[in-house]
């Protein structure tokens, strides 16, 4: 599966996905990785939207467009490789229940 040591995220897959999104201009520039982290571009003068701002009409259209671009992106199998398959989300969920 894609689950990592903590059972939730496989950092290798996560880093490959973020590097791919970066190469497509959909994420900050990916500079590299280390043991359990990565170095990415810092967006000077920007901050995340608050929960309330995400629903605000002034921002909602931009958020929807960005999410559509993100979800419309195809990830090559070599980016996602490391196990899993079409039923992976269910397998991961069952693993979380077992951990609880």
**Structure token digits, residue 18:** 């973020």
Residue 60 falls inside a structural domain? yes
> What are residue 7's phi and psi, to 5 degrees?
85, -5
Residue 56 falls inside a structural domain? yes
Using 50, 70 and 90 to split pLDDT, how confident is the model at 100?
low
Residue 33 falls inside a structural domain? yes
Matching residue, tokens 């995400």: 54
Number of domains, the chain: 1
Question: What would the pLDDT profile of 25-52 be if each residue is shown by its tens digit?
Answer: 999 999 999 887 899 999 999 999 998 9
Residue 4 falls inside a structural domain? no
pTM above 0.85, yes or no: no
pLDDT at 1: 43
What's the average model confidence in pLDDT over 4-17? 76
| H helix count then E strand count, the chain | 5, 2
Q: Which domain holds residue 42?
A: 11-90
Residue 99 gets which letter from DSSP? H
Q: Is the pLDDT of residue 15 over 50?
A: yes
């Amino acid at each position: 599966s894609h689950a990592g040591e903590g059972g939730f995220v496989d950092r290798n897959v996560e880093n490959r996905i973020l590097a791919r999104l970066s190469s497509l201009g959909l994420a900050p520039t990916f500079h590299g990785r280390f043991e359990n982290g990565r170095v990415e571009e810092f967006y000077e003068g920007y901050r995340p939207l608050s929960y309330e701002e995400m629903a605000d009409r002034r921002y909602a259209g931009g958020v929807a467009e960005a999410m559509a671009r993100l979800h419309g992106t195809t990830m090559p199998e070599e980016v996602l490789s490391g196990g899993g398959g079409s039923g992976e989300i269910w397998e991961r969920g069952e693993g979380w229940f077992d951990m609880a």
